[in-house]
Amino acid sequence: MTTFDADLGDIVGNELHKHGVTVACGRTLERIEPRSDGSLRVVGSGGLDEPADVVLVAVGVRPDNDLARGAGVRVNDRGAIVVDRRMATGIDRVWAAGDCVHTHHVLLDTPTYLPLGTTAHKQGRIAGINAVGGDASFAGSCGTQAVKVFDLVAARTGLRDIEAAAAGYDPFSTTVDVDDHKAYYPGATKIVIRTTGDRRSGRLLGVQMIGAYGAEISKRIDIAAAALHAGASVEYLNDLDLSYTPPLSSPWDPVQVGAQAWDRSWRVHSRH
């Protein structure tokens, strides 16, 4: 879970352990050997030696830019095609979109590489409109993503502390555990919410959230994503008119409880 803070990634690791999954971090895969019974043996550093029926190797995403470079299209140091907000490449009548291009982030001054399906669809729409004579511009991405791991959902949007600091912000984060709906209604579960804002301006910079499947984690992170696109402050989240009924939420939605905790801590630290 490298796109989350390490302690939040540990929550996901515990969920994996609970379901019998062995998590071996910091190991280097050295070889995969066939066994006499048709299965596989996976050997790595730190004593890693596991039998397997199937090995899935996930090596991440890298832009396939051979065609673009051959046409004279500029690429950046990560190999991503350089485009403007119209998805134009600088070569007449050549547009590019999706995992092969860099993207414009709503919180960053310089483009970044965020290969996400949602971003690719939006960029593709912009490129298509402009390719047939229209005039559209990509509004930007804030890296919103969610993943389901057994009975948990982890989601994030915006920047973490380390990312925000590298971008020149002065980040400050708080973490709360809050019920997903009113506790007196059966079935309430805890959501862990980490809210990150800028210490100088109070601007919302990012949110990380982990909770039970069914606790609307992916939709709640979308609240924060919408606020990020609006350039809103953390305090602004409390002004949003969000829905409430005891089986589904509380008068203050968990996202707003996280915002209130951040605001209280921020004001205390600001006085010191």
User: Whole-prediction pTM value?
Assistant: 0.91
The tens-digit pLDDT sequence of the chain (272 residues) is 889 999 999 999 999 999 999 888 889 999 999 999 999 999 999 999 999 999 998 888 899 999 999 999 999 999 999 999 999 999 999 999 999 999 999 999 999 999 999 999 999 999 999 999 999 999 999 999 999 999 999 999 999 999 999 999 999 999 999 999 999 999 999 999 999 999 999 999 999 999 999 999 999 999 999 999 999 999 999 999 999 999 999 999 999 999 999 999 988 877 65
Structure-block tokens of residue 265: 């801590």
What CA–CA distance (Å, rounded) separates 236 from 254?
14
CB atoms within 10 A of CB 272: 4
The predicted pLDDT at position 117 comes to: 94
Give the CA distances from residue 63 to residues 195, 206, 228, in Å, rounded to whole numbers and listed in that order.
Answer: 32, 26, 27
Under a CB-based contact definition with an 8 Å cutoff, are residues 243 and 41 in contact? Answer: no
76-88 b/e (C-beta count within 10 Å ≥ 16 → b)? beebbbbbeebbb
Check the CA dihedral 264-268-271-272 and report its sign: negative
Under a CB-based contact definition with an 8 Å cutoff, are residues 156 and 208 in contact? Answer: yes
Under a CB-based contact definition with an 8 Å cutoff, are residues 252 and 260 in contact? Answer: yes
Structure-block tokens of residue 212: 């039970």
Domains assigned to the chain = 6-52 (no CATH), 61-141 (3.50.50.60), 145-271 (3.50.50.60)
